[in-house]
């Protein structure tokens, strides 16, 4: 035993010596942090009493460049951002994960950007004959039209944009949409052709497309490969020389644009802001131009690329602030923040989010309502653009009616609910907001078809539905099939031209209702996956709309009600009742499934009852004896049908109503 204790003491002393040799004491932690960061930051950090900070005073607005990277999906935008962060020493090469600025799991799986991210970089460049230090703010914006409002507000903080195009795929639909969004914001646009290392790359063809579509000079185009690093050394010098500095005035009262916000469990709401005029210091009291509420700035700094406190933000700089906001609903994207007790002119462009698609969310198991409620509350803390109201359905129980900016926004929200919070939900068929006008002059905006009366007291005189301007770019051999598809979806052709000898450009005005479910899947199917599709909101147009009810034994099922165009009502009604017949279990009584418009039934299916063989005990005798037994069974089924209710399993709703 004594030998064992002696060995234990010896081992303990050795471990203590190893720990003392290999680890810094707590008092030298700030020095260790400074040494670690200095190894990969191109700008040295200055020590002060609070630890290592960055002195932003040495970067006047003339030495600041704010730019964004805009591109179609999967054209290498996030990879290019990674390489720029590595070039400037903001992150070490091979340090961290690919697509460093894409933080969410759904972003990595889909290859898209959902939340705008900002990174501050420092770069030394020979400018006007001398080496000059520049502060570069890279604002990585979502590329999809569903988030176009956030994109437009983010672009408002930029003076330039890198337009990235795939060297093999060329100009795509979202390339067109993003270009015009940047062009309307008067940004300096630098075209970048990426992925030139691919075997199928054809930079000359893409240059010709950029010239014909956007009138961009081929000599201004940069040829790069973000994967191999080829040509990247010319990107940052081009951004410094071609993009103008921020136009704000440092002597004017503080005005800053709120770009984005998210909720942190420890700090509360963290806001990404761009300083347009003036300067912001830690401890300042600020006010919101939209809500009028006042806050005190408890923390301020930059994203480098993680949060780095600086204590100050100056004119033209982009960073973050922590001000004690309790919810992201207070931090409205596009809002103007300013010092309290100062009168300023709010920055243009603030407006509330416009919800274009509505869907009901219900727990797959009715007992999980509280868990779903908690998950939605947590998720809306980081996504204030979702509208949520409670509703109840006779078939699905308690749930929520949610409004989204678009289809992708809805799909991402559902995926985040399942991945981040482990909830299983049933989503009803997505609908769009309609407007109905009656003979007494009243107008009713309908987001949930069940809320529209089937037999209104007043006569319906007009209906309006939202439309979109759809942009479609396809290989020329699929033009006929796509025109047929758009005609079936009540599309109106506005523009039709050829980008080059291989690809066609088409523009349609289409009802939003026609594209919310499966239009994109069908388009991809008939074009062998080569089509690219994008859309933007347009005005409401008059239409002939009807409410289609689904009845089970004469009782309407509110969760299955839908609003359809008059020309498509019979076909949609037949498809719904046929699909429902497959998924509803047989009962002990007959089930009649009907699709009806008002009191008129347009489609019907009958699900026969399960029956016991009451004739099994009859081995012979007169036929009237068998008939007597069958009539007795028939009367019992009628009585059961009157008092019984149809049991619709949750799986049937999930299969029938799930969004593909």
Q: What is the DSSP string of 299-329?
A: EEEEESSSEEE-SEE-TT-EEEEE---S-TT
Q: Minimal CA–CA distance to 409: which of 181, 204, 106, 187?
A: 106
Entry pTM: 0.73
Q: Mean per-residue pLDDT for 321-350?
A: 84
The whole-number pLDDT of residue 652 equals 62
78 marked as part of a ligand binding site: yes
The whole-number pLDDT of residue 483 equals 95
**CA 503, CA 531: separation in Å to the nearest integer?**
10
pLDDT tens digits for range 413-428: 888 888 888 888 888 8
Contact 408, 356 (CB under 8 A): no
194 marked as part of a ligand binding site: yes
Q: Minimal CA–CA distance to 146: which of 505, 533, 535, 477?
A: 535
Helix (H) or strand (E) holding 635: helix 623-643
Instruction: Give buried/exposed letters for 479-518 (b at 16+ CB in 10 A, else e).
Output: bebbbebbeebbbeeeeeeebbeebbbbbbbbbbbbbbee
197 marked as part of a ligand binding site: yes
638 marked as part of a ligand binding site: no
The angle subtended at Cα 260 by Cα 256 and Cα 264, nearest 5°, is 115
DSSP code, position 219: G
DSSP string, 568-634: GHHHHHHHHHHHHHHHSPP-SS-EEEEEEETTEEEEEEEEPPP---TTTT--SS-HHHHHHHHHHHH
72 marked as part of a ligand binding site: yes
534 marked as part of a ligand binding site: no
Kindly tell me if the per-residue pLDDT of 430 is higher than 80.
yes
Kindly tell me if the per-residue pLDDT of 66 is higher than 80.
yes
141 marked as part of a ligand binding site: yes
The whole-number pLDDT of residue 22 equals 40
Q: Where are the beta strands (DSSP E) in 278-394?
A: 280-281, 285-288, 294-296, 299-303, 307-309, 312-313, 318-322, 336-339, 357-363, 387-393
pLDDT tens digits for range 210-232: 998 899 999 999 999 988 889 99
Contact 405, 433 (CB under 8 A): no
144 marked as part of a ligand binding site: yes
Average pLDDT, the chain: 81
**CA 577, CA 595: separation in Å to the nearest integer?**
7
At 299, give phi and psi (nearest 5°).
-155, 140
334 marked as part of a ligand binding site: no
At 108, give phi and psi (nearest 5°).
-70, -40
Q: Which of 102-111, 153-162, 560-569 has the lowest average pLDDT?
A: 102-111
Q: Mean per-residue pLDDT for 321-342?
A: 86
Contact 272, 318 (CB under 8 A): yes
Measure Cα distances from 265 to 258, 270, 301, 378, 383 in Å: 20, 10, 18, 10, 15
Token duo for residue 223: 């040829």
Q: Mean per-residue pLDDT for 86-103?
A: 70
484 marked as part of a ligand binding site: no
Kindly tell me if the per-residue pLDDT of 4 is higher than 60.
no
pLDDT band at 18 (very low <50, low <70, confident <90, very high): very low
Contact 520, 144 (CB under 8 A): no
Residue 222 burial by CB count (10 A; 0-12/13-18/19+): exposed, middle or buried? Answer: middle
77 marked as part of a ligand binding site: yes
- Three-class SS state of 454: coil
Q: Mean per-residue pLDDT for 447-462?
A: 84
């Amino acid at each position: 035993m004594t030998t064992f204790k002696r060995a234990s003491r010896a081992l303990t002393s050795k471990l203590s010596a190893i720990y003392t040799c290999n680890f810094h004491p707590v008092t030298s932690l700030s020095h260790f942090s400074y040494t670690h960061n200095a190894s990969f930051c191109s700008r040295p950090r200055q020590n002060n009493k609070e630890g290592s900070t960055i002195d932003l005073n040495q970067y006047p607005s003339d030495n600041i460049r704010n730019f964004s990277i805009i591109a179609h999906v999967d054209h290498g935008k996030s990879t290019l951002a990674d390489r720029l962060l590595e070039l400037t020493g903001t992150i070490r090469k091979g340090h961290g994960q690919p697509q460093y600025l894409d933080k969410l799991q759904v972003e990595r799986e889909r290859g898209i950007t959902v939340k705008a991210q900002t990174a501050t970089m420092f770069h030394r460049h020979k400018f006007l004959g001398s080496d000059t230090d520049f502060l570069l703010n890279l604002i990585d914006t979502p590329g999809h039209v569903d988030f176009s409002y956030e994109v437009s507000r983010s672009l408002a903080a930029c003076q330039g944009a890198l337009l990235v195009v795939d060297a093999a795929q060329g100009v795509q639909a979202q390339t067109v949409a993003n270009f015009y969004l940047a062009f309307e914001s008067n940004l300096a646009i630098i075209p970048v052709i990426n992925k030139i290392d691919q075997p199928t790359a054809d930079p000359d063809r893409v240059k010709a497309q950029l010239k014909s579509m956007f009138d961009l000079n081929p000599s201004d185009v940069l040829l790069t490969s973000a994967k191999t690093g080829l040509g990247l050394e010319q990107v940052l010098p081009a951004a410094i020389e071609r993009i103008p500095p921020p136009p704000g005035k440092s002597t004017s009262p503080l005005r800053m644009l709120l770009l984005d916000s998210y909720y942190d469990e420890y700090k509360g709401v963290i806001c990404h802001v761009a300083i347009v005029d003036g300067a912001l210091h830690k401890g300042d009291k600020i006010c919101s131009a939209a809500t009028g509420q006042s806050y005190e700035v408890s923390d301020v700094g930059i994203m480098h690329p993680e949060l780095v406190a600086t204590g100050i933000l100056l004119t033209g700089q982009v960073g973050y602030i922590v001000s004690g906001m309790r919810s992201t609903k207070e931090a409205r994207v596009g809002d103007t923040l300013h010092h309290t007790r100062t009168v300023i002119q709010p920055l243009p462009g603030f407006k509330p989010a416009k919800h274009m698609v509505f869907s009901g969310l219900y727990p797959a198991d009715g007992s999980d309502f509280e868990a779903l409620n908690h998950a939605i509350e947590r998720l809306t803390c980081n996504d204030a653009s979702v509208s949520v109201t409670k509703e109840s359905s006779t078939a699905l129980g308690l749930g929520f009616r949610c409004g989204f900016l678009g289809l992708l926004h809805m799909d991402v929200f559902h995926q985040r609910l399942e991945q981040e919070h482990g909830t299983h939900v049933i989503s009803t068929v997505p609908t769009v907001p309609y407007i109905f006008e009656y003979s007494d002059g009243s107008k009713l905006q309908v987001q949930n078809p069940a809320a529209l009366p089937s037999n209104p007291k007043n006569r319906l005189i007009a209906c309006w539905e939202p439309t979109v301007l759809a942009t479609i770019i396809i290989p020329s051999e699929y033009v006929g099939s796509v025109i047929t598809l758009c005609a079936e979806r009540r599309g109106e052709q506005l523009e039709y031209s050829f980008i080059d000898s291989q690809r066609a450009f088409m523009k349609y005005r289409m009802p939003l209702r026609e594209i919310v479910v499966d239009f994109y899947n069908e388009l991809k199917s008939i074009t062998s996956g080569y089509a690219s599709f994008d859309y933007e909101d347009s005005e409401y147009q008059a239409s002939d709309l009807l409410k289609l009810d689904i009845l089970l034994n004469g009782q309407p099922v509110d969760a299955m009600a839908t609003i359809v165009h008059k020309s498509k009502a019979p076909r949609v009604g037949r498809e719904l009742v046929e699909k429902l017949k497959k998924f509803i279990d047989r009962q002990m009584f007959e089930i009649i499934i009907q699709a009806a418009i008002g009191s008129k039934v347009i489609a019907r299916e009958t699900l026969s009852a399960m029956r016991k063989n009451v004739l099994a005990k009859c081995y012979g005798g007169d036929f009237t004896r068998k008939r007597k037994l069958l009539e007795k069974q028939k009367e019992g089924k009628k009585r059961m049908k009157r008092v019984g209710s149809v049991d619709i399993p949750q799986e049937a709703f999930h299969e029938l109503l799930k969004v593909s």
